[in-house]
Amino acid sequence: MIITLATMYSHKFIDAIAHVSEQQWQLLAGTNLFCSYAWLHALEQSQCVHTSTGWQPQHLLIYKNEELVAILPGYIKSHSYGEYVFDWSWADAYQRYGLNYYPKWLCGVPFTPVAGKRILCRSFDADLNQYIYQTLIDSCRVYGWSGAHINFLTEQSASHKLFLHRLDVQFHWINNEYKDFSHYLSCLTSRRRKSIRKERQQAHNHGLSIQWLSAAQIDDEILTDFYHCYQATYIKRSGHQGYLNLAFFKLLLEHLPHTVRLCAAFKRHKLVAASLYLVDENTLYGRYWGALSEFQTLHFELCYYQGIEFAISHSLLRFDAGAQGEHKLIRGFAPFHTHSLHYLASPIFRDAVGDFVQREILHVQEYAQRCTALLPFKQE
């Protein structure tokens, strides 16, 4: 008997994470916080991801000799909101040529531009790699998806020749064994030290009490006030109330309490601004910010400087403060490349977008170099 990939491997798609046990999922996800069962299940339980929101769960399960060996958290998308790898121009081009760009299939973490493993498995090899990517290609044809996309993956070297590799830049703060915030400032140029001290002083001149709260300290009133801040800021910036609802944040506190930290500003014991963070063994993640009123430089204080202090005091290696934001550069956040992979079923568009992506990579690399030159650290 000749053993082939088709006889060794099999697969199926599931429309809810609950079709897999938490134990099975976590065995493959490991310490991957944003692809953990608890995180993704909370998104589904709260219906933040749902057919009605344009995020229909469609997780890919891979079996080897009937044993579950890999999972790709996936979603059928009817739009491109909440992805942070922008393909709106591709969708527009499809529409102009009378083709449907949606639905498409996306492997990633909804509303969260955090890099990490996207193929959840304990052992990865060339055969598994080939089977997964061929399955995605075949599924586009079977289900009528315009393409398959994998966003913010760290194992980008494992790929397929028909998947286009796309590059982008985020800004992360790295802890170079700083003793405290003053030690960190001492490594910056004099001009930047003075500017940061001024911003911090302005933030503290509002007469606010700034506190770090653990999940156990976040009661229903504080959580509701934080959520109102989150909604108010989203409405002001984007015209909608945000991708996440209050039910999601309650589930987060219930199922992942050890990961949650809230940096909150109180005025006369009333929460008026806050930044919600997540933390794992090595990294602090700044995720959700909101304020009920404008307080000069408070955003920088709660979202960056307080986070840097927290990372130093807890000996964390990295502080990921979210997507985009060149203003992070002058505060010491260095450029890092992020990766995504894209398969377009249409050969004509695959070739055209492939040419665009190759040119885009050169621009992104040049941009990262220019950003590095703007970092405020002293020259040794």
pLDDT for 199: 97
- The pLDDT confidence band at residue 2, using thresholds 50, 70 and 90, is very low
174 to each of 60, 78, 190, 193, 301, how far by Cα in Å? 34, 37, 20, 17, 18
pLDDT for 300: 96
pLDDT at 4 over 80: no
The Cα 133–Cα 105 span in angstroms is: 13
- The pLDDT confidence band at residue 5, using thresholds 50, 70 and 90, is low
pLDDT at 158 over 80: no
Average pLDDT over residues 244-258: 98
Q: Can you read off the two tokens belonging to residue 290?
A: 């909101």
pLDDT at 19 over 70: yes
Please tell me whether the peptide bond between 103 and the residue prior to it is cis, using omega within 30 degrees of 0.
yes
Average pLDDT over residues 81-85: 95
pLDDT at 255 over 80: yes
pLDDT at 302 over 70: yes
The Cα 168–Cα 340 span in angstroms is: 8
SS3 227: helix
The Cα 337–Cα 368 span in angstroms is: 8
* Sheet arrangement for strand 147-151: 55-57, 74-77, 104-107, 147-151, 334-344, 164-174, 318-320, 283-291, 270-279, 260-267, 209-214
The Cα 312–Cα 320 span in angstroms is: 13
pLDDT at 380 over 80: no
Q: Contact at 8 Å (CB) between 73 and 40?
A: yes
- The pLDDT confidence band at residue 323, using thresholds 50, 70 and 90, is confident
Average pLDDT over residues 4-31: 92
Q: Which among 121, 108, 9 has a CA at the least distance from the CA of 64? A: 9
- The pLDDT confidence band at residue 6, using thresholds 50, 70 and 90, is low
- Quick: pLDDT tens for 164-208: 999 999 999 999 999 999 999 999 999 999 999 999 999 999 999
- The pLDDT confidence band at residue 82, using thresholds 50, 70 and 90, is very high
pLDDT at 7 over 70: no
The 3-state secondary structure of 139-151, one letter per residue: HHHHHCCCEEEEE
Q: Can you read off the two tokens belonging to residue 28?
A: 């493959």
pLDDT for 322: 86
pLDDT for 1: 37
Q: Can you read off the two tokens belonging to residue 309?
A: 């202090």
Average pLDDT over residues 115-125: 93
How high does pLDDT run on average in the chain?
Answer: 95
Provide, rounded to the nearest whole percent, the portion of the chain with pLDDT above 70. 97
- What residues does 274 pair with on adjacent strands? 264, 290
